A and B are shown apart, each in its own frame.
Chain A
Amino acid sequence: MSETSPAARRPAGELEASVLAALWAAAGPLTPAEVQGELGGRLARTTVTTILSRLHDKGAVSRTRAGRGFAYSPIHDSAGLTARRMRSELDKQDDRTTALARFVSELTSEDEQLLRSLLDEADAPGAAGGPLPGSGTTP
């Protein structure tokens, strides 16, 4: 029981989600090894390969030959445009909160300053995870 890592015991659907998210977040196609690295090595390479080919079978990702294996990228489908139109329809309805709980709500300028100071304070010992977006570090 205790031999399996916490990552491996997660439901298959959650693993697929993590792998697809890594592909979307990447700038270009990723090989299984790169996906494994992206996910912090929590999954075995064979697991990642299996998940990627399953996603390919489902039509969620496309693949191209890369050396001896494949490199995978998410499919930017033509339905994207339709989706965007629907999304803007959703946005028009003034308060979406009734139906959908969004991850983050909009920030005011005061919120932004407060948030940055909170995170900077928490970060002081050994910053991890890269710089925050839009930090005032433009040269």
Chain B
Amino acid sequence: MIIAVWLPLVMPLLAVPTARRLAESLPPRAAAWLLACCAATLAACTAAALGLLAAAGALRLPPVAAFGHLERALPGTDAAVTVPAAPVAGALLACCAVAVARRALRHRAELRAARRTADAHGLAGDLCVLPDAEPDAYALPGRPGRVVVTAGMLRALPPAEREALFAHERAHLVGRHHLFLLTAALAGACHPLLRGLRAPLAYALERWADESAAARVGDRQLTARAIGRAALAARTHAAAAPRPGTAPAATSGPVPRRVAALLRPDRPADRPRGRLLPVGRRLIAAALLACVAFSAAGAVDAAADLHQTVETAQGEQPGR
């Protein structure tokens, strides 16, 4: 247990960069599923490991031991590590729980605020127009989902490109992409390293919606132009009233990469390292699978170990 239980806590160090690299070489839909599933699994393993560490320590406390019908103290030579680690693990687990709860509540509050805004305006079909000059558009999940667009955005785009925008937002709604984002946000609350999966996941979801929109309107270039024009219009507007906190990034941002991916699907100019060869992709996939499997196996092994230890302490014969 002493080694296995730590595996899920350190594995994101390896798994997160591996998953990001693999996602870059996958089609957007597969990439989104991969990143979301990785985030969820690794977060669950982290929580399990913390829980096991805390439980192993707690069982050494007399009241807990009595509650668990332990006839003698937990055996094991690892008391020197387990005992001090337990309160730390317990505290971390509590922090995780609070962070996850707060994240979930905030997510709900954000959706509510957005929904209130949308409800204040007339709807036509699934469209809600905000009488705002600033170009902005987003998909508002719910039943039914809505496409929220500002008047500024509608004025910035010609009719055909507006259809591409609507198709993009409807793809978000149909694919229930907000659940992917929520998964990543909650996983990030469990383990800080998992926050590194959120940006690539958000990008994969945008690409997924872009591809759906391009298929829907039947024109990749039109879709690319709609994205480009919307981003430039938003920027022109923002330049008039500068927003604080927009630091220039070292690498190209998501919008040029999305446009490039639509305009030249065979030539991803945005990726300095280029597309992976099939062999390389398979190797990376194997590495990622190993990371996740080790993480899960670590948690399961530690759980089985603790279970056996407890049974021994309860006076049962081991191995029966």
Binding site for B on A (CB under 8 A): 11-22, 24-25, 38-40, 55, 58-61, 74-77, 79-80, 82-84, 86-87, 89-90, 93, 96-112, 114-116, 118-119, 121-122, 129-130, 132-134
Cβ–Cβ < 8 Å partners of A12 in chain B: 125
Query: Which chain A residues border B163 with CB–CB below 8 Å?
Result: 18
Which residue, A11, A16, A100, A119, has most C-beta atoms of chain B within 10 A?
Answer: A100
Q: Is the Cβ of B177 less than 8 Å from the Cβ of A87?
A: no
What is the predominant secondary structure among interface residues of chain B facing chain A?
Answer: helix
The docked-state distance in angstroms from the alpha carbon of A112 to that of B227 is 12
Residue pair A86, B234 in contact (C-beta under 8 Å): no
- CB of A79 within 8 A of CB of B121, answer yes
Which of B125, B202, B227, B249 counts the most A-chain CB atoms under 10 A from its CB?
B125
Whether A25 pairs with B205 at a CB distance below 8 angstroms is no
A-B contact pairs, 30 of them (CB 8 A): A13-B124, A13-B126, A14-B166, A16-B127, A17-B124, A17-B126, A25-B155, A40-B159, A60-B124, A77-B122, A83-B132, A87-B117, A89-B113, A90-B113, A98-B107, A99-B111, A100-B110, A100-B178, A101-B209, A102-B137, A103-B137, A105-B231, A106-B234, A106-B243, A108-B246, A108-B253, A110-B248, A111-B252, A118-B259, A119-B228
Whether A98 pairs with B154 at a CB distance below 8 angstroms is: no
Q: Are B155 and A24 in contact (CB under 8 A)?
A: yes
* Known pairs A21-B149, A40-B159, A106-B235 / 18 extra A-B pairs, C-beta < 8 Å: A15-B125, A21-B154, A24-B151, A79-B121, A83-B131, A89-B113, A93-B110, A100-B111, A101-B177, A101-B202, A104-B230, A108-B248, A108-B253, A111-B256, A114-B256, A119-B224, A132-B232, A133-B156
**In the bound complex, what is the Cα–Cα distance between A99 and B316 (angstroms)?**
50
Per DSSP, are chain A's interface residues mostly helix, strand or loop, or mixed? helix
Q: Smallest Cβ distance from B312 to chain A, in angstroms?
A: 45
With A16-B124, A38-B159 as known contacts, state yes or no: A100 contacts B138, CB within 8 Å: yes
Residues from chain B with Cβ under 8 Å of A22 in the complex: 159, 162
Contact A110 B252 (CB under 8 A): yes
Cα A14 to Cα B256 in complex, Å, equals 28
B238 lies within 8 A of chain A by Cβ: yes
CA distance A20 to B149 in the complex (A): 11
Given contacts A21-B129, A97-B181, contact A83 B107 (CB under 8 A): no
Residues of A within 8 A of B140 (CB): 100
Residues of chain B lying within 8 A (CB to CB) of residue A77: 120-122, 131
Please, which residue of chain B has its CB at the minimum distance from the CB of A106?
A: B246
Whether, in the assembled complex, B275 has its beta carbon less than 8 Å from a beta carbon of chain A, the answer is no
Closest B-chain residue to A22, C-beta based?
B159
Write the chain A residue with the least CB distance to B247.
Answer: A108
Q: Does B136 contact A (CB under 8 A)?
A: yes
Question: Which among B114, B124, B169, B254 has the greatest number of chain A C-beta atoms within 10 A?
Answer: B124
The CA of A76 and the CA of B110, in the complex, are separated in Å by 25
Q: Which residues of B contact A109 (CB under 8 A)?
A: 248
Contacts of B286 in A (CB 8 A): none
- Smallest CB-CB separation from B227: which chain A residue? A104
The answer to whether B229 touches A133 (Cβ under 8 A) is yes
A119 to B114, CA, bound (A): 32
By the criterion CB–CB under 8 Å, are A100 and B114 in contact?
yes
List chain B residues, Cβ under 8 A from A97: 181, 198, 202
Closest to B120 in A: A79
Question: Contact partner of A103 among B116, B227, B235, CB < 8 A?
Answer: B227
